[in-house]
Amino acid sequence: MDREQFRKAGYAAIDRVCQYFEDLETMKEVMPSVGPGDVGRMIPTEAPVEGEAWSAIAKDFDDVILPGITHWQHPGFLAYFPANTTYESILADILAGAVSNPGFNWTCSPACTELEVVMMDWTAKLFGLDASFHNASNVGGGIIMGSASESCLTVCIAARERVLRMFPDTPAEKLVIFGTTQTHSLGAKAALILGLKFRAIETKAEDLWALRGEALRSALEQAKEEGLVPFALLATIGSTSTGAIDNIAEITAVGTVVDYRNWQMPLGRRFRSLKIYFVLRSYGVTGFQTHLRTLINKTIHFEKLVLSASDKYELFVPRRLSLVVFRLKGDGDAVKEDALNRDFFTRVAERKDIHLTPTVVGGMHCTRVTVGSQLTKESHLDAAWEAIQEVAEEARYDISNYRAIHRAYGTMQDFEHLLRETHRLGMRLIMDMVLNHTSASHEWFKESRSSRNNPKRDYYIWRPPRWSATGERLPPNNWASSAWEWDNTTQEYYLHLFSVTQPDLNWENPRLREEAHSLMRFWLDKGIDGFRLDVINCISKTPGLPDAPVVEKGTFFQPPLGRVANGPRIHEFLQAMHDDVFSHYKVITVGECPFTHDPKTLLPYVAPSSRELNMVFNFTLMDIDESVEGPMSIKPWTLPQFKAIIERLQNSMYDMGGWNSLYLENHDQARSITRFANDNPQFRALSAKLLAIMQGGTLYLFQGEDIGQINVPHDWGIEDYPDIRTKTFYKEELRKAQKLTGLKSPDMSEAMKAARRKARDNARTPMQWDGSRSAGFTTSKPWMRIHPDYAEGWNVASQMDDPASVWNFWRRLLIMRKQRQVLVYGDFELLAPEHKTIFAYRRFDKTTGEVVLVLLNFSSEPSPFRLDLWRDETITDLLIGNYESVSFEEDGGLVTLRPWEAMVLEVSSTTS
């Protein structure tokens, strides 16, 4: 390459550097997507005999080198210590490379030597160090070394030589290097290289993990008693783990501390001082301080995010400059809590969109976040925090061992005690069982991803990549929601319908099916009374995992709903499960069947002749107010639509020999009173009782539903909604509003209206047991705010003492259901299906002739309704109603129901 070729290539290289920094702002992955040996295989085993064109060499930087680079300047790189680079320092590197001077002494390069001396003094002054740290003092000063490890080793060599000159008869085995439990591993490494002892002095949390003079004095006295000769102390000013700053004043007061100058391993050194010179001249002191404060302020933003969730997370040490060290909180058990934090980091390391680092301090596992990239914005830290929360929830939920209780929640002995007490009280216990996927930290998956030849490889669903016409690696199919994750080790994708840390099991594998049967027998043998089978209809998928049909134009990825559930072998799998497991125990089984609304599709799951499950959870009613935009969307619905769904669920399933599980609330749905009725104070209790009367079949009653809990108050802000789905929704709506209005803080009232109406957080507030502090739920701070209405009588203790309460109404209703089997097993006949405010239906038993009429007014106004009784029928009794003054009056077959009134009427035949 001649000078003109260099000039041209240099301009192109600068352009490429600028483009790289632009790309970083939108680049999704921080970590490289290559496996071991990938880069090496793309590089020739020998240097080329003839020179190559520079264009080919430059192209290989993009094609070969860059794919194997961890992007330290990426806004999502929050690991280690800040790896800042600046345009000024890049230019300095270019010019230093041009002069290419070894700089091993003044004669070789006066500028190299003197600039470094002055730059060390500039740096000392910039950080406020006193005159003893300046070169002019003949005591302090220093040089720029290649690395901390090099510096440490050099110090130890020099110190060893000095002590052996002073005490030449000292045996090497008596020499010891001191550090602390916060000292980087480079201290122990230096001792290992030199064949010497290394001793770490314990530091304490109350000292913020810093070395104090008394601890050093005590360690020196102990070493003296053992006949050891300490000759070097490696103190820290901002340790890697916690940013700990040792108390230098106390340490130096213990004894003489010599500051050695101009130590280094190599004879020559790089011209690094030019980078400092350029940067400080370009920024100026105030500009450089502003730059540092900007990074620190961003870190303070992240610190506040951690503190805002202090019920689940804790700052392990106070923030140091741009370093935050945090931990997940458990239940107070140190062993379980540490296991939770180890598992958390294992999971977060799987992600490629953020890069954090772990650390162990005082025997406790923590996670570090440090802000160093100039490209990192508060929005990037918000996204990182959302990712952290998502992974943390998975760490508390995912199944990593099917035969154990998660340590954060107790022991097997705790579970067995719970089971015994449940049975003693005459109740039954059903366990949630997830058979579609496991945790990525499950031993099965660890083995499966270790190699393509591992015996458990086929326990999960692996596929090779597809390749675009331009050579871009693509997932095996077009399924949306990022259903596939690339594995560097084995160079294939694995399927995960849900989270990346929840790989799907391969039910096509007979060995996997036998494992699943065995683990279910394990729990049934302990005496549990059944299973709720999570997303059970997803264990059989469309054979071959073909592309989903294109329904969203302009994007490669498409919704895979028709491909991931109710596959052709689902009933085969469930029948084998029933015959091999369920049929040998007296149990109840209920399957969660998402993505499925057609009763004809659900019937085979529960038909007695199928020998599969007892019942399934159907989502049709839960989707009545959801648009195609997703679960947080609000779609208007009408009572006739509501009634039509209930009728279809009741009749189609029963007519075909199936059975229903009926519910209006669960942990993934908002509160039913707010959603389907009226939560205004004057109608709240009436609405709760009306919805209680409406439900037939096998009831699933959610916590708080029995005391009439409602959605959270209107004045709660987004910071009061901890669910990751809510926060992600809000963030996306904020982005849309900012783009639409051009405002940084646009009106978000519509987004908050949706959250207040549909967010899962509404059902996840702590249970309200009594009127004491924290509603009697805890003496600590709960995971989210408690609904303030617990102090207004909306709690269990208050309602147990109130005969007219929602809780006592539920109690009376459940007793009546046991006494009147027609309410549970009776046939269902919908009356006046098009009536806009009245939901009326009959339940009747053809065998006994028992008939009841249920009238429900879904309106805040009085609603007239004409009874359409059979000719030989008459109303003989009002069995239960939701008003305190209960009466039934009709005028020529016309009855008027008060606002949100509900009643169950006994109907008798005049000819019986």
Pairing status of strand 530-534 against strand 588-592: parallel
CA 181 to chain CA centroid, Å, is 31
Q: At what angle do helices 510-525 and 570-580 cross, to 10 degrees?
A: 40
Residues 6+ apart with CB under 8 A from 643: 830, 833, 839
223: its two tokens? 């070493």
Cα(408)–Cα(333) distance, integer angstroms: 8
Please check whether residue 807 is in contact with residue 709, taking contact to mean a CB–CB distance below 8 angstroms: no
CA 331 to chain CA centroid, Å, is 18
Please check whether residue 245 is in contact with residue 186, taking contact to mean a CB–CB distance below 8 angstroms: no
Which of 60, 311, 447, 534 is catalytic? The answer is 534
19: its two tokens? 């483009």
Supply angle C-alpha 57, 60, 63, rounded to 5: 165
Residue 592 annotated as catalytic: yes
User: How many helices, marked H, and strands, marked E, lie in the chain?
Assistant: 27, 25
Residues 794-823 as b/e (b if ≥16 CB within 10 A, e otherwise) read: bbbbbbeeeeebbbebbeebeeeeeebebb
Long-range contacts of 54-59 (CB under 8 A, 24+ apart): 54/1, 54/5, 54/9, 58/9, 58/12, 58/13, 58/16
AA letter at 423: H
Please check whether residue 677 is in contact with residue 692, taking contact to mean a CB–CB distance below 8 angstroms: no
3-state secondary structure of 617: strand
Cα(580)–Cα(385) distance, integer angstroms: 45
Please check whether residue 778 is in contact with residue 770, taking contact to mean a CB–CB distance below 8 angstroms: no
Cα(461)–Cα(228) distance, integer angstroms: 59
DSSP H or E segment with residue 804:
none
AA letter at 754: A
628: its two tokens? 């195609």
Q: What percent of the residues of the chain are helix, what percent strand, and what percent coil, each to the nearest 5?
A: 40, 15, 45
Residue 60 annotated as catalytic: no
What strands lie across the sheet with 175-180, from one edge to the other?
A: 197-201, 175-180, 229-233
3-state secondary structure of 254: helix
Among candidates 189, 241, 234, which has minimal Cα distance to 216?
Answer: 234
3-state secondary structure of 117: helix
Question: Which burial class, exposed, middle or buried, applies to 15 when counting CB atoms under 10 A from its CB (0-12, 13-18, 19+)?
Answer: exposed
Backbone angles phi and psi of 589, in degrees to 5: -130, 135
Q: Where are the alpha helices (DSSP H) in 398-509?
A: 412-424, 443-448
Asked whether the CA dihedral 738, 744, 745, 746 is positive or negative, the reply is negative
Please check whether residue 665 is in contact with residue 863, taking contact to mean a CB–CB distance below 8 angstroms: no
Which of 592, 706, 733, 873 is catalytic? The answer is 592
Active site residues: 534, 592
